[in-house]
Amino acid sequence: MIEKNPEGSGREADIGAMIDHGPWGAYQKFIIALLAVAYLVDGIANQSLGLAIPALTKAWGAPREAFAAVAAIGLVGLTMGAALGGVLGDRIGRKPMLVGSVALFGAMTMAAGSASSLSILFWLRFFDGLGMGAMIPNGAAMISETTPLRHRSSAIAIGMVFIAVGSLSAGLIASVVLVHFGWQAHFHILGAAGVAAALGFVLLLPESPVFLARVRGNSPRLAGLMARFGQNLAADQVLVRQAGGRGGRFSGLGVLFAQGVAGSTVALWLAFFFCLLASYSVFSWVPAMLADLGYPLSLASLGMTANGAGGIVGGLISGWLIERFGSRRAILGSAMCAVLSALLLGGLIFVGQTSLVAIFSALAVLGFFISNVHNGMYTLSAYMYPPQVRSTGVGAAAAFARVGAIASSYAGVAALALGGGTGYFLVIAISILICAAGTAAITRHVPPVR
C-alpha cells in the first residue's frame, strides 16, 4: 500500500535525484553483490574456451590454428551483444536483460561440453559472446541507477573487477577439472555457474527504480523498492522527467549523436576502442612475447597472472580515484602512467634487461594502470547519458570498443613480428596515448565527490 501524501499532490519526486543524494543502504549493497556475481560468471565464461583449447586439440586432433575462428567469433558476438543488449535494456528493462544474457552465456558454455565438431563449437561460442556482451552494459546501467552518486564510481569499479576475478577463478577451476574430468566437464561446470546465477537473479534481483519510474510512473512496485532504499514515495506524488503514454518513450541511438552530445560520443568511442586494443593486446600476446624472450611456458603463464593481479588491484582503486579526483584527472593520470609503464617494459627489453623480477613487476604495474583506465571508461559512459538511453550508450561504446579488441589480435602479432618485445610495448603505449587524447576531448566528465 502506498502511503497518501497529506499535503496533496503538489510535491514532485525525481527518482534519479533521490537515489543520487540518498542513503546507500544494505539492500543497495546487496544489489551490487548480485551484479558482481554477474560479472564474475561473465569472466568465467569468457575464459572457458581458451583454457580448453589445449585439451580440445588433443581430443579432436585439430591444430591450435583451427580454433582461431572460434575465438574470433566469440569477440564478434561480444561486440554485437553489447550493442543489442544495451538497446534492449533501455526498451524492456535491466532485469530481463541481465537474467536473459547470463542464462544465455551460461547455457551456451554448458552446451560446448557436448560439442562434437569445430563448426558446432563456432556457433555456440557466437551465442556465448552475445550473452556476455549484453550483460556488461545492463550491469553498468543497473549499478548506476541503484547507487548514490558519491559511491557510484566505486560500485561500478567493484562490479567490473569481478570479470578479472572470474578469469582467475576459471583458471583455478580448470587446473583441476581439465586434468581429472576432461574438457566436457570443464564446460559443463563453468557454464553451470552462469545458469545458477541467472536463476538466482530471477528471485533476488529487482528492476532498476529509474527504469520503473520512466515506463510505469508512480506505482506500488516502485514505492516498495524505494522504501527498501530508505526513501519514501507518496501515492499522489508526480514523478518529474516523465513523458506521457507508458511513462517514457524510447529514444534510440539518435540521442547519442544529438547536438551537444555527438562530439563526446565520438571521443568516448575512440578512447574506448584504443583502451581495449591495448588491454587485449596485453591479454592475448604477453605469453607469446615472454616465450620469445626465452621464458619457459610455465613462467610465461605466470606473467599473465602478475598482470592480472595488478589489474584487480587497479580496478578496485579506480572508483576511489574517480570519486576523489573526477574522471578526467583519474583516467588521464592513469593513462599516462600506463604509457610510461609500457615504455619502461619496451626499454627493458631493448637493453636486454629481462630478469623475471623486473619484467613481472613492470607487467603488474602496467596491469594496474590499464585496469584503472578500462574501468574508468565504463564509469564515464554510464555517467554521460540520460537514463532512457544509458544502457544504449554504454552498450554502443562497449561494442565499438570490442572492435578494438578484435583488432588487437592482428596488431599484437604484427608488432611482435616487426619489432619484437620493444615494438610490441611501443604499440601498446601509442594506443593508450590515443585513448588519453579521446578522453581529454570528452566534454562531460564525472565530477569529484565533494
Look at residue 184 in the predicted model and tell me its pLDDT: 95
Coil/strand/helix, residue 239: strand
Look at residue 252 in the predicted model and tell me its pLDDT: 60
Global pTM? Answer: 0.80
Query: pLDDT tens-digit profile of 90-126?
Result: 899 999 999 999 999 999 999 999 999 999 999 999 9
pLDDT mean over 180-203: 96
Considering only CA atoms, give the Rg of the chain. Answer: 22
Architecture of domain 253-441: Up-down Bundle (1.20)
Look at residue 405 in the predicted model and tell me its pLDDT: 84
Look at residue 337 in the predicted model and tell me its pLDDT: 97
Q: Name the strand (E) or helix (H) holding 400.
A: helix 390-441
pLDDT mean over 33-57: 90
* Neighbour count for residue 179 (Cβ, 10 Å): 10
Q: Where are the chain's structural domains?
A: 15-213, 253-441
Look at residue 275 in the predicted model and tell me its pLDDT: 95
Query: pLDDT tens-digit profile of 370-420?
Result: 999 999 998 899 888 888 788 888 888 988 998 898 888 778 778 888 888
Query: Which residues, 6+ apart, have CB-to-CB distance to 177 below 8 Å?
Result: 185, 186, 189
Look at residue 220 in the predicted model and tell me its pLDDT: 87
Cβ 331 vs Cβ 438: under 8 Å: no
Query: pLDDT tens-digit profile of 417-435?
Result: 888 889 999 999 999 999 9
Query: Which residues, 6+ apart, have CB-to-CB distance to 87 below 8 Å?
Result: 252, 253, 391, 392, 395
7 pLDDT more than 50: no
* Neighbour count for residue 296 (Cβ, 10 Å): 10
Look at residue 362 in the predicted model and tell me its pLDDT: 93
What distance in Å separates the CA atoms of residue 130 and residue 84, rounded to the nearest whole number?
A: 9
What distance in Å separates the CA atoms of residue 206 and residue 214, rounded to the nearest whole number?
A: 15
pLDDT mean over 130-148: 93
What distance in Å separates the CA atoms of residue 299 and residue 273, rounded to the nearest whole number?
A: 30
Highest mean pLDDT among 265-269, 287-291, 312-316: 265-269
Does residue 123 or residue 14 have the better pLDDT?
A: 123
Look at residue 335 in the predicted model and tell me its pLDDT: 97
Look at residue 254 in the predicted model and tell me its pLDDT: 74
Average per-residue pLDDT in the chain?
Answer: 87
Does residue 244 or residue 339 have the better pLDDT?
A: 339
Q: pLDDT band at residue 5, thresholds of 50, 70 and 90?
A: very low
For domain 15-213, the question of CATH label 3.20.20.80 is answered with no
- Any alpha helices (H) in 113-148, and if so which ranges? 118-144
Percentage of the residues of the chain whose pLDDT score is greater than 90: 50
pLDDT mean over 36-61: 89
Burial 185-223 (b: 16+ CB within 10 A, else e): ebbbbbbbbbbebbeebeeebbbbbbbbbbbbebbeebb
Q: pLDDT band at residue 1, thresholds of 50, 70 and 90?
A: very low
Q: Which residue is listed with cell 564509469?
A: 379
- Any alpha helices (H) in 205-236, and if so which ranges? 209-216, 220-228
What distance in Å separates the CA atoms of residue 372 and residue 352, rounded to the nearest whole number?
A: 29
CA 144 to chain centre: 13
Nearest Cα to Cα of residue 208 among 116, 295, 90, 323: 90
Cβ 323 vs Cβ 448: under 8 Å: yes
* Neighbour count for residue 354 (Cβ, 10 Å): 14
* Neighbour count for residue 447 (Cβ, 10 Å): 14
What distance in Å separates the CA atoms of residue 420 and residue 78, rounded to the nearest whole number?
A: 30
Look at residue 4 in the predicted model and tell me its pLDDT: 40
Cβ 369 vs Cβ 338: under 8 Å: yes
CA dist 19 to 1, 24, 220, 327, 340, Å? Answer: 21, 9, 17, 20, 39
Cβ 102 vs Cβ 131: under 8 Å: yes
What distance in Å separates the CA atoms of residue 203 and residue 226, rounded to the nearest whole number?
A: 18
Look at residue 28 in the predicted model and tell me its pLDDT: 96
Q: Name the strand (E) or helix (H) holding 12.
A: strand 12-13
Does residue 104 or residue 174 have the better pLDDT?
A: 104
24 pLDDT more than 60: yes
Q: Which three cell numbers stand for residue 439?
A: 578522453
Look at residue 294 in the predicted model and tell me its pLDDT: 83
Look at residue 9 in the predicted model and tell me its pLDDT: 44
Look at residue 13 in the predicted model and tell me its pLDDT: 83
23 pLDDT more than 90: yes
Q: Which of 248-252, 265-269, 381-385 has the lowest mean pLDDT?
A: 248-252
Look at residue 241 in the predicted model and tell me its pLDDT: 59
Residue type, 178: L
